[in-house]
Amino acid sequence: MRNKLILYAAGAFAFMGIAPLAHASYTAYIFQSGSDVVATGSGSLDFSNLVFNVSGSCTPGVSAATIGLSLGTNNGPCTEYVGTITGPASWGAGSLTFTSSGSGPNVVITSSSIAVPLAYVSGAALGTSTATFLSNTLAGLGLTIGTYTYSWGTTNPDTFTVNINTSSPESSSAPLTLAGLGVISLLMWKRRRNALGGRGLTER
């Protein structure tokens, strides 16, 4: 699976020994957007607890059955690190599906590796990465709705979370935002009421 998601290119390989942050986390969302399935992700990744394997090029794709998500520019330069990564065994029954429609830094996770952009500094913030599966559905890709979290390292482990849902993360957070505004309004009303000595807002 790892070999399919990462297309190896010829070149010199070098280990990047860079001091990591204490903790890094990356969050990806896979959701239905009209007639397409969109995957997007952002955050940071710390590979200090993993071992350098190879540098090459990455292509965006997803595999539910054998754990694989690749985001970013098609055939973008990337570096792979391998090690013990713990988490759910699958996201459904779907087989590997590639797409040439992707943007942003190349980021990959499989059951035993992560890949990051070439010359990426461990723990640094990554911009937004995407992959779009045109004219497809979550069911067509064999993806099961849910939240799947993977971790590596022993002390304050680093995490990579994959959220699969029918709607975009923006639309999912909208009700929470409105609820938060309601709470703020209520607190402001109570503060104003207390300042008026317990009288109603319309009382003078």
Does 28 score more than 90 pLDDT? yes
Residue 9: what pLDDT?
33
Half-sphere exposure of 81 (CA within 13 A, CB side): 25
183 vs 68, which has greater pLDDT?
A: 68
pLDDT (average), residues 72-101? 97
pLDDT band at 8 (very low <50, low <70, confident <90, very high): very low
Residue 174: what pLDDT?
44
72-76, 114-118, 120-124, 177-181 — which is least confidently predicted? Answer: 177-181
Cα–Cα dist 62/49, whole Å: 24
Does 111 score more than 50 pLDDT? yes
pLDDT (average), residues 85-103? 97
CB–CB of 161/133 below 8 Å? no
Does 116 score more than 90 pLDDT? yes
pLDDT (average), residues 162-175? 76
For residue 192, which phi and psi values (nearest 5 degrees)?
-65, -40
Does 161 score more than 90 pLDDT? yes
Cα–Cα dist 175/179, whole Å: 6
Residue 6 three-state SS: strand
The secondary structure of the chain in percent helix, strand, coil, rounded to multiples of 5, reads: 15, 40, 45
80 burial level (CB within 10 Å; 0-12, 13-18, 19+): buried
Q: Please state, rounded to an integer, the average pLDDT across all residues of the chain.
A: 81
Does 98 score more than 50 pLDDT? yes
pLDDT band at 170 (very low <50, low <70, confident <90, very high): confident
96 burial level (CB within 10 Å; 0-12, 13-18, 19+): middle
Residue 155: what pLDDT?
76
pLDDT (average), residues 15-41? 79
CB–CB of 102/60 below 8 Å? yes
Residue 138: what pLDDT?
98
32-41, 90-99, 167-176 — which is least confidently predicted? Answer: 167-176
pLDDT (average), residues 61-72? 97
